[in-house]
């Protein structure tokens, strides 16, 4: 149950409580700002190697290589109406990658000389207004392909570059550049590099491995946070294209404006060929080392050289040599609380639904532009139930839903806009595996597997008191092409005693134990309008588990003696010890025990109530005194229309 302030707790127990429901529509998907891109420039420059950065004064600095020449551009106050077509010649250069990095007033420009092997640096200390002469950083043994760089707050800089399938680092400390050092990973070829400093030097690599598979990987060049200083982490996959598929990846870019944001190019060379940029991002609380990414999303553009990302404190920028895009980092939010006529929410283990009715008698929602533009498919609706209190209206930050559709109604002098939305289970259902994902036994535990799936659907994942099985069990697990995230999550949850619920875009896993303390009491201070309480036979009272060798059973002897046995058999080769097999049997018996009680209760809204909470009920008319039940589903209904406002909550109940 969500924690409530004392004033709100007192208000929801009062017989004269006045309802208050706060409803906001927000420009987020899965808790991450949905960037609404505005194109500011469409030019005729050739698609080529390029880079961009924004130093501390907010200017936008871009560079590109075209026809053996390096060009540079600086726009002091970029925005609509800025001139993005004015380029200055810098130097002759090879047809190879370029890199820009900045910190405060310092700007570094790296490029490859006409010999194809020597990497030069030009440096600025005035936000890129002027640059010094070229300095040779290193000369490679063969042609240099790709470059990336970034700078720490202490002005330590790192340049990474590729020669064939090998990546090299050159580090600058105290103003002195060191010698190149090859990484400890191995690839057949490199088709792109990106680097962003955020506690470590976080790197993205695209290319091909020894088997000929093209991939996008993340890795870390350590600075002591997630990786030891000056060492490389292993490569971790983000996107995969099998050898012979005519698909490859190239030209990644990485930045951290609010979360880690990544772009790369998917290039298809078969019939109907294309080179299409994709974007992805990490959950807000994820460390880079966790390699948790939203399923990459295609963009309606064509480019072989990708979209570079840079940012200021207020905006994110994308650019190519021939295009510039801007998006605000401010999350748009529309408070529709005053316009809510009716609201119904339903939440159960299979998902949550919202029906929201907004007044539209004066046509206020006919034009969904401006601040109302957040009312669109995928927009987040946050419902926060509350009450009026002596200190003003108070609400608990409640469930989140994402808009699936809407309808306008009219008649009898009334008009309304009705929004239909679903909770995070729908985001999981909408994520479909584009390829097969497979983990060998022992590679990842259940918690880590759930984290990967949640991230692919733009969701956060955490524990609210999970079982030890969740971290101890490392199953062989496969997500099949076309399988939904919801199906994969349910298959994993079937392996453990735990259940899952959502707080907004956060998914939590918990172990519903019989010894749990009650979260809340009904029937004494908090009224019960009506109730129905029953019990029913479980679907199974005997569980048989067949593992890789072990065989165990669990029994509900009292139920078997009364009505004979109902057997459920479970087969799982991941269960290679008696203890693991017994855990699975006990978990299934717990699920059956919880479902053995039934019933429902209707009461004034408890603003902090959540799925799987334990509650205590006193209802003397039904013979209950401090009876413990578990919440297995809940719904809320609010109606401001009619003679008597409605504000009530229905709880479906099971055994603890």
Contact call for residues 510 and 499 (beta carbons, < 8 A): yes
Q: Which of 182, 184, 237 is nearest to 213 (CA)?
A: 237
Interval 20-43 mean pLDDT: 96
Contact call for residues 296 and 239 (beta carbons, < 8 A): yes
Residue/partner pairs of 588-592 with CB below 8 Å, 24 or more apart: 588/540, 588/543, 588/545, 588/554, 589/543, 589/554, 589/556, 590/497, 590/512, 590/514, 591/497, 592/538, 592/539, 592/540, 592/541, 592/543, 592/556, 592/568
Query: How confident is the model over 413-446, as pLDDT tens digits?
Result: 899 999 999 999 999 999 999 999 999 999 999 9
Q: How far apart are CA 234 and CA 231, in angstroms?
A: 10
Supply the mean pLDDT for the chain. 95
3-state secondary structure 445-501: CHHHHHHHHHHHCCCEEEECCCCCHHHHCCCCEEECCCCEHHHHHHHHHCCCCCEEE
**What confidence score (pLDDT) does residue 37 get?**
97
Contact call for residues 326 and 37 (beta carbons, < 8 A): yes
Residue 545's Cβ-count burial label (10 Å; 0-12, 13-18, 19+) is: buried
| Portion of the chain with pLDDT greater than 70, in percent | 100
Contacts of 494 (CB under 8 A, 6+ apart): none
Q: Which of 600, 614, 610 is nearest to 349 (CA)?
A: 610
Higher pLDDT, 644 or 174: 174
Burial 350-388 (b: 16+ CB within 10 A, else e): ebbbbebbbbbeeeebeeeeeebebbeebbbbbbbbbbe
Give the pair of three-digit tokens for residue 409.
């109604």
Name the least confident of 54-63, 375-384, 593-602, 620-629.
Answer: 593-602
Interval 386-404 mean pLDDT: 95
| Portion of the chain with pLDDT greater than 90, in percent | 90
DSSP secondary-structure letter at 441?
A: T
**What confidence score (pLDDT) does residue 539 get?**
86
**What confidence score (pLDDT) does residue 642 get?**
66
Q: Which of 650, 630, 646, 616 is nearest to 524 (CA)?
A: 616
Query: How confident is the model over 542-582, as pLDDT tens digits?
Result: 999 999 999 999 998 888 888 888 999 999 888 889 998 99
**What confidence score (pLDDT) does residue 8 get?**
96
Q: What residues does 163 pair with on adjacent strands? A: 166
pLDDT(86) > 70: yes
**What confidence score (pLDDT) does residue 527 get?**
96
Calculate the alpha carbon distances from 134 to 61, 107, 109, 529, 553 in Å: 18, 13, 9, 80, 75
Interval 68-82 mean pLDDT: 97
Query: How confident is the model over 489-543, as pLDDT tens digits?
Result: 999 999 999 999 999 999 999 999 999 999 999 999 999 999 999 888 888 899 9
Q: How far apart are CA 317 and CA 301, in angstroms?
A: 15
**What confidence score (pLDDT) does residue 562 get?**
86
Q: Which of 416, 472, 444, 427 is nearest to 295 (CA)?
A: 427
**What confidence score (pLDDT) does residue 234 get?**
98
pLDDT(40) > 80: yes
Q: How far apart are CA 67 and CA 272, in angstroms?
A: 28
Interval 287-301 mean pLDDT: 97
Interval 161-184 mean pLDDT: 97
Contact call for residues 250 and 146 (beta carbons, < 8 A): no
Q: Phi first, then psi: give them for residue 192, nearest 5 degrees.
A: 165, 150
Chain-centre distance for alpha carbon 629: 33
Query: How confident is the model over 338-372, as pLDDT tens digits?
Result: 999 999 999 999 999 999 999 999 999 999 999 99
**What confidence score (pLDDT) does residue 400 get?**
96
Q: How far apart are CA 574 and CA 458, in angstroms?
A: 28
pLDDT(597) > 90: no
Contact call for residues 538 and 592 (beta carbons, < 8 A): yes
Q: What residues does 599 pair with on adjacent strands? A: 533
Contacts of 139 (CB under 8 A, 6+ apart): 115, 117, 118, 119
**What confidence score (pLDDT) does residue 620 get?**
93
């Amino acid at each position: 149950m969500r924690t409530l302030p004392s004033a709100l707790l007192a208000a929801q127990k009062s017989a004269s409580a006045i309802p208050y429901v706060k409803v906001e529509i927000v420009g987020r998907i899965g808790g991450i700002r949905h960037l609404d891109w505005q194109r500011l420039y469409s030019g005729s420059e050739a698609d080529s190697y390029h880079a961009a950065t924004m130093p501390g004064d907010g200017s936008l600095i871009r560079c590109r290589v075209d026809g053996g020449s390096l060009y540079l551009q600086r726009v002091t106050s970029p925005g609509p109406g800025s001139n993005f077509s004015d380029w200055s010649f810098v130097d002759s250069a090879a047809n190879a990658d370029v890199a820009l990095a900045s910190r405060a007033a310092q700007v570094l420009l790296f490029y490859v000389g006409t010999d194809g092997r020597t990497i030069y640096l030009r440096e600025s200390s005035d936000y890129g207004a002027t640059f010094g002469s070229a300095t040779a950083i290193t000369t490679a043994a063969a042609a240099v392909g790709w470059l990336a760089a970034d700078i720490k707050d202490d002005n330590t800089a790192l340049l990474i570059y590729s020669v064939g399938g090998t990546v090299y680092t050159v580090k600058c400390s105290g103003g002195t550049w060191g010698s190149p050092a090859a990484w400890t990973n191995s690839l057949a070829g490199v088709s792109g590099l990106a680097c962003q400093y955020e506690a470590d030097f976080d790197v993205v690599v695209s290319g091909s491995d020894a088997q000929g598979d093209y991939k996008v990987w993340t890795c870390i060049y350590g600075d002591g946070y997630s990786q030891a200083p000056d060492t490389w982490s292993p490569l971790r996959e983000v996107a995969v294209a099998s050898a012979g598929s005519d698909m490859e990846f190239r030209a990644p870019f990485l930045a951290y404006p609010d979360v880690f944001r990544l772009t790369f190019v998917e290039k298809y060379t078969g019939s109907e060929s294309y080179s299409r940029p994709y974007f992805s991002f990490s959950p807000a609380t994820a460390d880079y080392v966790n390699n948790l990414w939203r399923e990459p999303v295609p963009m309606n553009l064509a480019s072989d050289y990708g979209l570079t990302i840079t940012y200021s404190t207020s905006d994110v920028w994308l650019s190519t040599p021939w295009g510039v895009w801007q998006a605000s980092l401010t999350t748009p939010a529309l408070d529709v609380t005053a316009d809510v006529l009716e609201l119904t929410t339903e939440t159960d283990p299979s998902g949550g639904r919202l029906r929201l009715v907004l007044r539209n008698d004066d046509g206020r929602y006919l034009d969904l532009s401006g601040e109302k533009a957040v009312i669109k498919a995928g927009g987040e609706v946050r419902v926060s139930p509350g009450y009026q209190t002596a200190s003003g209206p108070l609400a608990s930050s409640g469930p989140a839903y994402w808009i699936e559709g809407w309808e306008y109604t009219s008649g009898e002098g009334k008009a309304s806009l009705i929004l239909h939305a679903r909770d995070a289970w729908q985001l999981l259902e909408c994520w479909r595996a584009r390829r097969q994902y497979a983990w060998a036994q022992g590679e990842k535990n259940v918690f880590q597997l759930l984290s990967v799936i949640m991230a692919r659907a733009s969701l956060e994942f955490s524990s609210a008191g999970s079982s030890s099985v969740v971290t101890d069990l490392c199953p062989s697990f496969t997500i099949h092409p076309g399988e939904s995230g919801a199906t994969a999550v349910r298959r994993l949850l079937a392996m453990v005693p735990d259940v899952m619920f959502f707080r907004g875009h956060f998914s939590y896993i918990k172990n519903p134990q019989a010894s749990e303390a009650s979260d809340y009491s009904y029937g004494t201070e908090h009224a019960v309008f009506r109730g129905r309480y029953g019990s029913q036979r479980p679907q199974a009272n005997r569980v048989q588990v067949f593992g890789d060798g072990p065989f165990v059973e669990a029994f509900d002897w009292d139920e078997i003696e009364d009505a004979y046995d109902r057997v459920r058999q479970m087969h799982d080769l991941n269960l290679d010890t008696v203890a693991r097999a017994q855990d699975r049997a006990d978990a299934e018996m717990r699920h059956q025990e919880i479902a053995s009680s039934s019933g429902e209760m209707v009461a004034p809204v408890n603003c902090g109530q959540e799925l799987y909470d334990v509650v205590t009920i006193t209802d003397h008319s039904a013979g209950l005194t401090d009876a413990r039940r578990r919440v297995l589903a809940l719904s809320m209904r609010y109606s401001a229309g009619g003679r008597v406002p409605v504000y009530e909550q229905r709880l479906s109940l099971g055994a603890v």
